[in-house]
């Protein structure tokens, strides 16, 4: 299955900690939890079936991020932005982008993300921010 989610990619942040009542509790920031919920909501709108074969899965993730103003205003960058060929070599880290998508779709697009044996990811600047996801069985 191959699908696209029209939203700005977000990297998985580090957990936060609070110590109320003498207990230390870990939690994720509210903005991140809201982003994950929105991604899952958009995935459910696509009405795709979960990949439940039990076989190893290959996942391809393409992250298209909104370019900074300094990049988008330069005329020579325009063609690369339109062709979506300009790599992102700054934050967010690609592994944290992967984690956010895999965590959000776990138990929805696949039964458990431990089923993923192969993964490919890229991040590019684009005038149309989105996440493209492809899931297929490993041959």
Check residue 36 and give its pLDDT: 95
Convert the pLDDT of each residue in 72-111 to its tens digit. 888 888 888 888 999 999 999 999 999 999 999 999 998 8
- pTM, full prediction: 0.89
Kindly list the strands in the beta sheet with 2-5, ordered across the sheet, starting from the edge strand earlier in the chain: 2-5, 130-137, 57-65, 116-125
Q: How many domains does the chain have?
A: 1
For residue 58, the cross-strand partners are 118, 136
Sign of CA dihedral 59, 10, 85, 79: positive
What are φ and ψ of residue 29, in 5° steps? -60, 145
CATH number for the domain harbouring residue 90? 3.30.1330.70
Higher pLDDT: 138 or 49? It is: 138
| Residue ranges making up the domain that contains 45 | 2-137
Check residue 66 and give its pLDDT: 94
Burial class (CB in 10 A: 0-12, 13-18, 19+), 126: buried
Mean pLDDT of the region 63-70: 93
Mean pLDDT over each residue of the chain, to the nearest integer: 91
Contacts of 76 (CB under 8 A, 6+ apart): none
């Amino acid at each position: 299955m191959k699908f696209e989610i029209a939203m700005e990619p977000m990297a998985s942040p580090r957990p936060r900690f609070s110590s109320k009542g003498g207990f230390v509790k870990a939690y994720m920031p509210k903005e991140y939890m809201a982003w994950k919920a929105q991604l899952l909501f958009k995935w459910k709108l696509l009405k795709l079936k979960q990949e439940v074969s039990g076989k190893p899965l290959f996942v391809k993730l393409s992250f298209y991020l909104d370019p900074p103003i300094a990049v988008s205003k330069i005329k020579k960058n325009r063609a690369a932005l339109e062709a979506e060929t300009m790599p992102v070599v700054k934050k967010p880290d690609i592994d944290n982008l992967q984690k956010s998508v895999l965590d959000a779709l776990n138990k929805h697009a696949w039964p458990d993300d431990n089923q993923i044996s192969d993964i490919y990811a890229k991040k590019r600047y684009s005038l149309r921010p989105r996440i493209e996801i492809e899931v297929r069985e490993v041959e």
